[in-house]
Amino acid sequence: MSNVADNSKSPEKPKHFIRQIVDKDLASGKHQTIATRFPPEPNGYLHVGHAKSICLNFGIAEEFKGQCNLRFDDTNPAKEEAAYATAIEEDVHWLGFEWNGNIRHASDYFDQLYGFAEELIEKGLAYVDELTPEKIREYRGTFEVPGKNSPHRDRPSSESLDLFRRMKAGEFSDGQMCLRAKIDMASPNINMRDPVIYRIKHQTHHRTGDKWCIYPMYDFTHCISDALEGITHSLCTLEFEDHRPLYDWVLDNISIDCHPQQIEFSRLNLEHTVTSKRKLNLLVTDKHVDGWDDPRMPTISGMRRRGFTAAAIRDMCERIGITKKVNTTEMGVLENSVREDLDKNAKRVMAVLDPVKVVITNYPEDKVEQLTAPNHPQKEEMGVRTLFMSKEVFIDRADFREEANKKYKRLVLGKEVRLRNSYVIQANDVIKDQQGNITEIHCSYDPDTLGKNPEGRKPKGVIHWVSATHSLSATVRLYDRLFNVPNPGAEENLPESLNPESLITLSNARIEMSVKDVEPETRFQFEREGYFCSDRYDCKDGELVFNRTVTLRDSWAKIENKL
RNA sequence: AGGGGUGUCGCCAAGCGGUAAGGCAACGGGUUUUGAUCCCGUCAUUCGUAGGUUCAAAUCCUGCCACCCCUGCCA
């Protein structure tokens, strides 16, 4: 659907602080052109929080006619897999962004990174430490207590160099030694207390295979990768604020002629969802959901399958803005963004989710009429579709009551209602089974009400329907929020706050014929119900499966609750 | 001997010394063959708080308070 950014008619975007910085850097001539990057670690699926970062990085590059790289931060072979990388690429593309040139990998720079490490050693700014991980932690000190120097801190750089080369050659085992930057064990910033920059890991890397058994740490890798790629603005989340001095220290102390500016912004938090990789993983592993792309998951692939459009996700990211404040966005913002997109772009169709049979007693037995209905009430250019009218139709159980107050505008015994895009009918009789469940409603119709109101009156309600004989059976999955609490991430026991009704599967739904050969991932508005999307995987071979993306706004529910 | 950040409406968020934008939500009303959409209207005398500077302060200064992040050979 609408996968292309529609920025054309948003006259002025809010100037958040990062745009202001970029503006200023361009105006002052600090940069002729800007370069950003989106640097995921290929160890999980992208989620809505990443979408914010993707939109920021790619968006700002696009806006200022710069470029944005896609770079996999693959420095920890123990956690990373090629399969994740493939999924990430697909998600970024689907969101509507194009990266600059080839995909980059931190692992592409392993040779250069190694060279810079040797340079630091030669300058006396890094040393090989043989303290155990436990000892390193102990020597690091605490927030209140300064750390103390490792006994190996002042060994000759020639010795460190030799040891570092032997580390690389595979002479030592994991954890036996590591390379540390020599900065300041007494720094109030713990990241500056001689951070480890290389560690030994006898582990096959998904791209470099067994070439390396030592791998650089994030703090050493990220800034150099940025510099090597000529990144001008390195945008990251708040928790890296304390790492910025280290980012700058590394670039200031190696022979490199580029020094990107790291700028931090706050992550996205969405009410009723979690975005921690660990928690998302738990949901999948413990089968609380049906995989990473379950439509209830806040992953990009999950939201896609649910029916959210890329444009809607981008729109939400624009609306929430960029600041350094800790924030929690209400679901309403995302929902508003999808509704706005889908209202404009989704074809309308009628589907009866919980069918009850209506027999139109005065309608000729074998007559089948073909009626024409617009695909969109406001957009004529979206064309029309054919509806089949017959003696027996289905309506939704919720649209009929034997008796009701005047607020209820649907079918009531003895009263009239409009069948949308068809005739006005009147309910005359109700047939029930032994348990008292309604099995049939007998109605009469007014043949002179097609496209016009009955003489002298106007039915107050309109309900949707499908022909009992000329309609299709469908499975409809009603999704709702995965968690009942606003901030599930803060919950001690995550599964306890799961919403038991996050998925309701209706297998007896009926839908109009026009949808017969629907392609997967087609979005519709089921009139009076909500926006639905044919399932990307399960809707095939004539089997119709739809996922509810979001309901329509429901002011009736509010009225009803007040009654 | 701690350090780094952040506080403007229920939720986001502009504002950058000249007298509180906007969006979402909410609440009224109108149009409507979707209780949808659309339209119209209401919604911060006050910016964490206490002082100070100034003709003028959300914006500058000082003190206090609250919240978030940091002690992986994770990113």
Pairing of strands A400-401, A416-419: unpaired
Q: Which residue has the least CA–C1' distance to nucleotide B34?
A: A528
Angle between helices A218-228 and A244-252 (to 10 degrees): 60
- C-beta of residue A193 within 8 angstroms of C-beta of residue A141: yes
Task: Please give the model's pTM, rounded to 2 decimal places.
Answer: 0.96
- C-beta of residue A151 within 8 angstroms of C-beta of residue A185: no
* Domains of chain A: residue spans and CATH: 17-106+221-333 (3.40.50.620), 110-217 (3.90.800.10), 351-463 (2.40.240.10), 472-562 (2.40.240.10)
Q: Would you say A184 is a known binding-site residue?
A: no
Q: Would you say A268 is a known binding-site residue?
A: yes
DSSP letters spanning A460-495: S-EE--EESSSEEEEEEEEE--SBSSS-GGG-SSGG
- C-beta of residue A103 within 8 angstroms of C-beta of residue A137: no
pLDDT per position in chain A (563 positions), as tens? Answer: 333 333 333 345 668 999 999 999 999 999 999 999 999 999 999 999 999 999 999 999 999 999 999 999 999 999 999 999 999 999 999 999 999 999 999 999 999 999 999 999 999 999 999 999 999 999 999 999 999 999 999 999 999 999 999 999 999 999 999 999 999 999 999 999 999 999 999 999 999 999 999 999 999 999 999 999 999 999 999 999 999 999 999 999 999 999 999 999 999 999 999 999 999 999 999 999 999 999 999 999 999 999 999 999 999 999 999 999 999 999 999 999 999 999 999 999 999 999 999 999 999 999 999 999 999 999 999 999 999 999 999 999 999 999 999 999 999 999 999 999 999 999 999 999 999 999 999 999 999 999 999 988 899 999 999 999 999 999 999 999 999 999 999 998 999 999 999 999 999 999 999 999 999 999 999 999 999 999 999 999 889 999 999 999 999 999 888 77
Q: What is the value of ipTM here, to two decimals?
A: 0.96
Q: Which residue has the least CA–C1' distance to nucleotide B21?
A: A14
Rounded to whole angstroms, the distance from the CA of residue A376 to the C1' of nucleotide B29 is: 26
Give me the phi and psi of A75, to 5 degrees please: -100, 0
Rounded to whole angstroms, the distance from the CA of residue A280 to the C1' of nucleotide B26 is: 32
Rounded to whole angstroms, the distance from the CA of residue A17 to the C1' of nucleotide B15 is: 12
Q: Would you say A43 is a known binding-site residue?
A: yes
Residues of A serving a catalytic function are 41, 267, 277
- How far is residue A302's CA from residue A315's CA, in Å, rounded to a whole number? 18
**Two tokens at A141?**
């000190």
**Two tokens at A29?**
């001539």
Q: Would you say A396 is a known binding-site residue?
A: no
Nucleotides of B under 7 A from a protein CB: 1-8, 10-16, 21-27, 33-38, 67-75
Q: Would you say A237 is a known binding-site residue?
A: yes
- CA angle A87/A92/A96 to nearest 5° reads 140
- How far is residue A331's CA from residue A213's CA, in Å, rounded to a whole number? 45
A127-151 b/e with 16+ CB inside 10 Å = b? bbbebeeeebeebbbeeeeebeebe
Shortest CA to C1' contact from A19: nucleotide: B14
Amino acid identity of residue A50, one-letter, is H
Shortest CA to C1' contact from A43: nucleotide: B75
**Two tokens at A412?**
């009531």
Rounded to whole angstroms, the distance from the CA of residue A326 to the C1' of nucleotide B20 is: 22
Rounded to whole angstroms, the distance from the CA of residue A319 to the C1' of nucleotide B13 is: 9
> Which of the 8 DSSP states describes residue A357?
E
Shortest CA to C1' contact from A236: nucleotide: B75
